């Protein structure tokens, strides 16, 4: 087995491996790498493991980030739902991780974070408080609707009674999507992605990306970004405006996503990542979504506690409170600059 750095000539073989690997996601594709490279000024690295015949047996993409708050580190992958090493066997998996550690030492990085969907055969420490929430939609929307309790069905009907309508689109809906998304991110105290990030995703994945908009009187109140890969439709980003909370347009938003997944023949809907037992976790659970543990592994250059760069960390609570107080225009101007340094 040989581990070597990714080269441009490997693009076709790399994506072929992603297509056949059950561990790989859309975020492992070279198209997603292009989205990140085009949007954020970070250095990208990647390794692949080959057997004696030159066949790829494993891959690992990594992004090098530096920031005042979070330090010098490598992560697979930032600004993404999933990442980490994908390999056909434990030997390739461990060899790829060792290659990443060697690079981290050369860069003077303090740590590596690998966002795995399942355990790896390594003794690296990990956190598993994150879960992804999956709903089986293969039975069709009729069966799913009948499986909801009366309260949930009433909540789904409520926004329609209040005049909200759902629509699906592409790049033509980006302004509506971003207005709602950016406002909600400010309200949550979180720096927003640049608008160009979502534009690049739509351009790179025209066959896989859709925008779902819930609007009343032509004005959007809830939005979702939908991404498809294999037999799964994912909702990596969704937002709704607090001003419309009483009508709960987000309930119609998620129901329309479920309908779309069923209509297009996907087997499951991925509601996205949540922290176990959080508010968003419980919201997704009511739809029948099943939690799947995520394993975030860490290599540390020096012994110590595991890095915790998430907004749940009390260390950043003051920054979150201050961000919420920013005028929207200021938050939208500063957010894209700050978020490039967040893992």
pLDDT at 319: 83
User: H helices within the chain, ranges in order?
Assistant: 11-20, 30-39, 90-107, 141-147, 150-161, 174-188, 195-204, 249-263, 279-285, 317-324, 328-339
How much is the average pLDDT of 6-28?
A: 95
**By percentage, how much of the chain surpasses pLDDT 90?**
87
Burial of 210 (0-12, 13-18, 19+ CB in 10 A): buried
Judge if the upstream peptide bond of residue 77 is cis by omega within 30 degrees of 0. yes
**By percentage, how much of the chain surpasses pLDDT 70?**
98
pLDDT at 312: 66
pLDDT at 305: 86
Whether 309 shows a pLDDT value over 70: the answer reads no
Question: Running DSSP on this structure, what letter comes out for residue 234?
Answer: E
How much is the average pLDDT of 29-41?
A: 95
Tell me which of 3.30.590.20, 3.30.428.10, 2.60.120.260, 3.40.630.30 is the CATH number of domain 132-292: 3.40.630.30
Query: Of all helices (H) and strands (E), which one includes residue 227?
Result: strand 219-229
How much is the average pLDDT of 287-297?
A: 95
- pLDDT, averaged across the chain: 94
Lookup: tokens for 221 = 């109140």
pLDDT band at 334 (very low <50, low <70, confident <90, very high): very high
pLDDT at 310: 65
pLDDT digits (tens, 9 = 90+) for 112-169: 999 999 999 888 999 998 999 999 999 999 999 999 999 999 999 999 999 999 999 9
Q: What are phi and psi of 335, to 5 degrees?
A: -55, -55
Q: Does the fold of domain 132-292 match that of domain 2-128+294-309?
A: yes
pLDDT band at 321 (very low <50, low <70, confident <90, very high): confident
Q: What are phi and psi of 9, to 5 degrees?
A: -65, -15
pLDDT at 313: 64
Whether 311 shows a pLDDT value over 70: the answer reads no
Nearest to 78 by CA among 238, 163, 191: 191
pLDDT at 304: 87
The pairing of beta strand 111-116 with beta strand 71-76? parallel
pLDDT digits (tens, 9 = 90+) for 179-219: 999 999 999 999 999 999 999 999 999 999 999 999 999 99
pTM, full prediction:
0.94
Q: Where are the domains of the chain?
A: 2-128+294-309, 132-292
CATH class of the domain whose range is 2-128+294-309: alpha beta
């Amino acid at each position: 087995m040989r581990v070597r750095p990714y080269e441009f000539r490997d693009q076709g073989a790399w994506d072929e491996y992603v297509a056949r690997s059950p561990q790989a996601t859309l975020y492992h594709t070279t198209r997603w790498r292009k989205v990140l490279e085009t949007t954020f000024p970070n250095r990208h690295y990647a390794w692949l493991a080959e057997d004696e015949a030159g066949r790829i047996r494993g891959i690992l993409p990594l992004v090098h980030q530096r920031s005042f708050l979070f330090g010098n580190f490598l992560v697979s992958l930032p600004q993404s739902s999933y990442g980490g090493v994908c390999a056909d066997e434990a030997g390739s998996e461990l060899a790829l991780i060792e290659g990443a550690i060697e690079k981290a030492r050369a860069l003077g990085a303090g740590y590596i974070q690998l966002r795995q969907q399942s355990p790896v055969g390594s003794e690296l420490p990990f956190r598993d408080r994150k879960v992804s929430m999956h709903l089986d939609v293969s039975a069709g929307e009729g069966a799913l609707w009948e499986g909801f309790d009366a309260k949930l069905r009433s909540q789904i009907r409520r926004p329609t009674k209040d005049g909200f309508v759902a629509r699906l689109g592409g790049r033509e809906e980006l302004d509506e999507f971003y207005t709602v998304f950016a406002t909600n991110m400010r309200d949550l105290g979180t720096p927003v992605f640049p608008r160009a990030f979502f534009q690049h995703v739509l351009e790179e994945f025209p066959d896989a990306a859709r925008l779902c908009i819930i609007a009343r009187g032509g004005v959007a109140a809830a939005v979702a970004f939908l991404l498809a890969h294999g037999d799964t439709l994912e909702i990596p980003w969704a937002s709704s405006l607090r001003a419309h909370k009483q009508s709960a347009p987000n309930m119609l938003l998620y129901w329309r996503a479920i309908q779309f997944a069923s209509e297009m023949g996907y087997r499951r809907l991925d509601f996205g990542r949540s922290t176990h037992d959080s508010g968003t976790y419980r919201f997704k659970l009511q739809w029948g979504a099943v939690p799947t543990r995520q394993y975030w592994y860490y290599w540390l250059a020096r012994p110590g506690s595991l890095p915790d760069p998430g907004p749940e960390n009390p260390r950043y609570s003051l920054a979150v409170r201050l961000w919420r107080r920013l005028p929207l225009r200021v938050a939208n101007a500063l957010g894209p600059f700050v978020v490039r340094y967040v893992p």
